[in-house]
Structure 1
Amino acid sequence: MTADTPPASDGPLVRELSEDGLLARILPLLPRGEQTLVPPGDDAAVVAAPDGRFVVTTDVLVEDRHFRRAWSSGQDVGRRAAVQNLADVAAMGASPTSLVAALVIPGDLPVSWVEGLARGLAAECLPLGVGVVGGDLSGGPAVVVAVTAHGDLGGRAPVLRSGARAGDLLAHAGVAGRSAAGLALLEAGRADVDPELVAAHLRPVAPVAAGPEAASAGASAMLDVSDGLLRDAGRMARASGVRIELDSAAFRQDQERLRAAADTLGAVAQRWVLDGGEDHGLLAAFPPGCALPDAFRPVGRVRAGAGVHVDGEPAPAASGWDHFAG
């Protein structure tokens, strides 16, 4: 059975197993990882840190806030939970090494859904040699998935949001707007219009390997585009004390990919590209003369000043994702 094998649709509920019984179903599905010295089974795992430093990040997915079980399988949620953390590690210029996952799950949840979540974590971690080395289980009224990921800088300096300088080239790796378009289709009950866009929301694909490549190429600043291109570009601009200038033509292919969905819903494809979150692409600044890694495309420039401009004009107010808005 592979990490992508779909779970059975029947079987016991969580409340019908003990914690040890549930762990016995989950742990064999999780990868150990290349840097794991002591795997799950003791009070804590031990993971090598060859660099002498480690990168750490954490994210939470809450049922009916970040996902709906009516739309998302356990495997979907596991993959999203892994990707959003792996992308944050990559955005620091580090290679992910391990993660831990804490789950809050209701008793009436099928065990097969939890097994699917473990398979989803494994599907994202196995190709990268990343271990899932522990976590915690608790009961509760809704599913909550909290993942903490660790990464190795490989002797490089971390790439911060605050390093962009006037004259730098701005570049992007990954896709833009697809997750937002997929969510809009789901909310409108029109998933049939473009199943690939729906999949991009349920199971985003992040260019994780591009993060260390950008760091090795000399990137001066970088971040994970998780909350929308304009919102996250604004964060880089504020942290670096510069103006970010984006060229919308650089995202023309992204907009064209969303055109049919936008026409169906009466939406504007460019707004999904500029404001849509959860694609988990990487936005990076590179000093003049740096050769861009293959995964990156030029999308703008860093100038003296402040704020974000699109095609030479001040950017419209960014909506994007805000955990506490509305």
Structure 2
Amino acid sequence: MAKMAFSFHSKPLVLQFMLLILFLLGTRLHAVEPPSLTLDYYASTCPVVLETVKKEMECAVLSDPRNAALVVRLHFHDCFVQGCDGSVLLDDTITLKGEKKASNNIHSLKGFRIIDKIKNTLESDCPGIVSCADILTIAARDAVLLVGGPYWDVPLGRKDSVTASFEQANTNLPKADEGLLSIISKFLYQGLSVTDMVALAGSHTIGMARCASFRARIYGDWEATTPGYDPISESHLSNLKSVCPPIGGSDNNITAMDYVTPNLFDNSFYHLLLKGEGLLNSDQEMYSSVFGLETKELVKKYAADPIAFFQQFSDSMVKMGNITNPDSFVSGEVRRNCRFVNT
């Protein structure tokens, strides 16, 4: 008997609709390219910037392919809080509470030392010129490219924020167990469409997830989303349960979100969703939720057409990278050290 698609989220459906409406009423569509972002922003002041970032990212990914996903995730988590302003890179100080220890970041963000290394090199070549926010945006593009993903031109000219928002880091970022409508509302709030959301979720074709993020999924609705007995799926589920037992101190155990091609940026992630094997509830809901009429069609499209996925991912990454923090263009700076505001 065919299994019915349904939402995994625990909130009543009425509350999900209300949540979506409230977010839409307060939506700020600010994912618009500001006049100060240009492709040749550093052409005269630091012409080596693109080549320097590329070389450092090549070293980082060669040493560990997982570094590609770490840098891409840093970029996502930066742009969804105050815009793409480098705020996620700031350490806590006596006078500033950063975003690194927020619940959505504390266990999932790494890669800071990669950005530090790039910044140190650029400070030697072009002191005080290239912002940490721009470095992170370029590095994310190169990270994707180095593991087989698409290329896109990166508009530049961001300033580094002198503030951070611990509160927004806890509320603006999508969570692994969140319902589809709630996640859509968070993307709309950033000026990103449903199409952008499904395409950007494709970055989960690389990278790892913690047991704490997928335990409820593998011991809950996993079998309900898979179409009947599949030896490969059954074996994969067994492996996941060995990595992530139902109880015990295993929260930090990790596994690939795309177990087929974990170090290759491709459209394999969407094929897993078609099979009901999305590791995170938030991902699988794009295909299996009763609210996912549009998202389901997009998942099928990107599974069938890798070129369409690559093109939309590139476009959506540019759009996300152009989410701005207006304050940073007034009071922002170019940090000498990405971890601290200039003194």
- What TM-score, normalized to structure 2? 0.23
| Higher RCO (CA < 8 A, seq sep 6+) | 2
In proportion to residue count, which structure has more strand? 1
In proportion to residue count, which structure has more helix? 2
- What TM-score, normalized to structure 1? 0.24
